Structure 1
């Protein structure tokens, strides 16, 4: 008799987990789940397993026991089957599965109409090539700056980044500090990085098998790394976790070559109590970054160094030895400390001999997935965007305020910031924000763009994957 309630436990677990996943992970779309089912998950922070057991496993078990007694005393046997069916339907609805299934049968001509194949675009680099340092900051939002600066926190959690944005260049959706909107296929780390460096989203078809180990990642797509490789750049990607997680290593292995510096690179040199959080913390990441950049700068070739921070990762962030309890929320304090580290790192770069020939890009990889923190701390009506600033750009924008733009637009924009001339000022779904060209959202709006990205495209299969 008790064994008959195992399906009930499974169904209730799925129901509870579906609700929990959105509050814990802040899932941006069901495509995010499909993508992560297809890529390596090694190096995942295991803290979420403990939290899942506490908040989902135990709760589902308790509900199953309650159902057992209720059914035994009051209801006929079919109640169990109705409950299971209802739980499965509600769980699928909660994670957006039904909408995703419908979109598998919808077709779009978005790619044929607006997508520009980077392989066909002529680009001209300046005679003196700029180095590029690209800092992807985990979950960095404009939201974290003060309301006075265009954010939604009473004080400025990111004063150093805000100052850099004002002193240098910030592309904004408003008159104050602002940033890019995140659309389908770009709302998690790999999706955000790929969008910013290729102009392509990761709206992966269910039947695609092109994200497995040894299989080229977006083989037909020409990326920032491919372009810089052709121009003789040294390239490195530095990260404090295992680069294989989420397919990041596959992406950089396919497009480049790009040297990978991750947790596995230095794990034998770390203290016995490691890994911590996702691998090693940002304090070590910035120290390693200084060493690696110094090595690259000592060579005759121009260099492209990109890195991804981790301390502000959802759901709770990482408290290192510099953590100070200055604000009511744990993550607010971690964000503030991350701002201090990034500010110090930028000061170090600016003091180096190579700075005069270097463009620096700081950008959030996506908006935060720390749903509980966001919903309890900020106004739900606030228009959330990823923060950005470009330092030492070799170009001046015609309009950098009150723009409608997305993660895709950083691809041509970063190249333009390096002094590269791009024929047509379009690459992938991206538009060069330094130019007078309208972005796709400025032509058709965010809502329609996002809706079309979720549909199926023959072009995506044949020319991008």
Structure 2
């Protein structure tokens, strides 16, 4: 009986060792893959990726994970398993390990790989912060529907263009970039135009810093439009996050403009459901969403068309022109938001408009995007609705293409996100030498429409047109980010669940 029990015990221990070894290998290679592919975006972004809707993901991302993370993990697991436990036909151990020693070494190795993976994605730092409670929302958050916001008598239209991964880094050093060449000259010219506004962290061309909870696209879109980070409260399951209910307790810019009588649309070239973008906007007052599927229906691309994340930006801009012409013919003021995709990591997508000016594919895609955005702006300026329309061009976050950054950008360069405001009825003396983040774009956008905001703060963001210090300027970026990383019962109770 004892011999039988010992045999069962050996099998259980062996299974545990093998499972832990596999998990260790998978975690080790997956962590390295994630950081290499997406950069240090924060553990919040990893949690969101794990628990959110993944439909519409570029197949290249999945293929890359399979080839550079899962396959090496499986190979390492098989080799290590054979190394520890392979025996000859007569039961003799091939390698000089006793059964006990093989177990101990495999368990230690598993723990080392799991710990290495945790350090790679900064799980210890994340756990340190989430073990603490933040009071930043109770002390600093301003609900936009509770704030006094006064619109001008003639409400202005808004066109908000999110540029995927567009940062100032791609400019030449003489104008504030990190390169010896300017790969985005047209976007540079836009911010150098004295009639336009570029809020900057320097006295020249600059922009805003990444903030915790806004280092990936939907997180950034939430920050830009709600003035808060996107966080995944611990213990919430997938079905409660994103599709069924997306931050139902938060009032956003879409809610504000809805109450002001705006007709609002979102246009993306991919699957709008990816990452919860469509649910987020539609659950907060959006009237209509356009994406790869509606582009097919409208004849912008053929039925079944799908490249990269959906369709190229050249088709997206054609679609935008078509729909803006229709939207502008309506009586209501409109807010049109769009998101480009060609400059998504890794290396971007080369469309037929791209010209090989540079040695790096990513730079050619950036240059192509710069040209297309500038052409789109020229088209808007020729339309009758332009006179009463404010245009905001902003990157969503700094690029996740860490390979490109490692090859081309000095470690001490301060990377910031691009922004340019065109045709604002409001001027400012506080444009330069600012420290700010995506959350500050929320009240700043409304101010650029001519709105007066009592207290000049909405969400956690500050109206940059005013002289009021941002929270980053008051606290410092590190302390501000630390507060956003901490656990907040207030956030979970008041934002994540419907009040």
TM-score, normalised with respect to structure 2: 0.89
2:284 to 255, 276, 284: 255
2:479 to 439, 448, 451: 448
| Alignment correspondent of 1:151 | 177
1:171 to 196, 199, 221: 199
Matched, 1:267 2:280: no
Matched, 1:22 2:44: no
Post-superposition offset of 1:273: 6.4
1:40 to 29, 50, 53: 53
| Alignment correspondent of 2:135 | 109
Post-superposition offset of 1:30: 0.8
Matched, 1:305 2:333: no
Distance 1:49 1:227 in 2: 38
2:325 to 286, 289, 294: 294
Post-superposition offset of 1:50: 1.9
| Alignment correspondent of 1:202 | 230
Distance 1:454 1:6 in 2: 32
| Alignment correspondent of 1:184 | 212
Match of 2:418, SS? Answer: strand
| Alignment correspondent of 1:378 | 409
Distance 2:359 2:129 in 1: 42
| Bigger Cα displacement from structure 2, 372-381 vs 266-275 | 266-275
Match of 1:179, SS? Answer: coil
8 Å contact kept, 1:242–1:264: yes
8 Å contact kept, 1:233–1:301: yes
8 Å contact kept, 1:146–1:152: yes
1:389-408 alignment runs, 5 A limit: 389-408=420-439
Match of 2:338, SS? Answer: strand
Post-superposition offset of 1:70: 4.6
2:244 to 214, 217, 233: 214
Give the RMSD, CA atoms, in angstroms.
1.8
Distance 2:428 2:96 in 1: 70
| Bigger Cα displacement from structure 2, 78-87 vs 360-369 | 78-87
| Bigger Cα displacement from structure 2, 329-338 vs 99-108 | 99-108
8 Å contact kept, 1:149–1:177: yes
2:158 to 132, 143, 148: 132
Post-superposition offset of 1:68: 4.3
Distance 2:207 2:408 in 1: 20
8 Å contact kept, 2:328–2:334: yes
Match of 2:337, SS? Answer: strand
Render the CA deviation track for 1:291-349: whole Å, top value 9, x for unaligned: 11100111111110000000000112111112222112111111011001101000000
Distance 1:459 1:122 in 2: 23
8 Å contact kept, 1:34–1:206: no
Distance 2:126 2:315 in 1: 40
| Alignment correspondent of 1:427 | 458
Distance 2:479 2:314 in 1: 41
Match of 1:120, SS? Answer: coil
Distance 1:421 1:218 in 2: 26
Render the CA deviation track for 1:262-293: whole Å, top value 9, x for unaligned: 11213354336621011111010000000111
TM-score, normalised with respect to structure 1: 0.96
8 Å contact kept, 2:242–2:275: no
1:64 to 54, 68, 77: 77
1:328-343 alignment runs, 5 A limit: 328-343=359-374
Distance 2:70 2:244 in 1: 35
Post-superposition offset of 1:231: 1.2
Gaps of 5+ in 1: none
1:71-90 alignment runs, 5 A limit: 71=84, 73-75=95-97, 76-77=101-102, 78-90=104-116
Post-superposition offset of 1:27: 4.2
Distance 1:104 1:177 in 2: 35
Rg: which structure is higher? 2
| Alignment correspondent of 2:6 | none
Distance 1:36 1:63 in 2: 25
Match of 1:235, SS? Answer: strand
Distance 1:128 1:279 in 2: 37
Distance 1:251 1:52 in 2: 27
8 Å contact kept, 1:238–1:307: yes
Quick one: structure 1 residues 65 and 36, their matched pair in 2 at CA, closer, same or farther if it must change by over 3 Å?
A: closer
Post-superposition offset of 1:445: 0.4
2:447 to 413, 416, 419: 416
| Bigger Cα displacement from structure 2, 325-334 vs 67-76 | 67-76
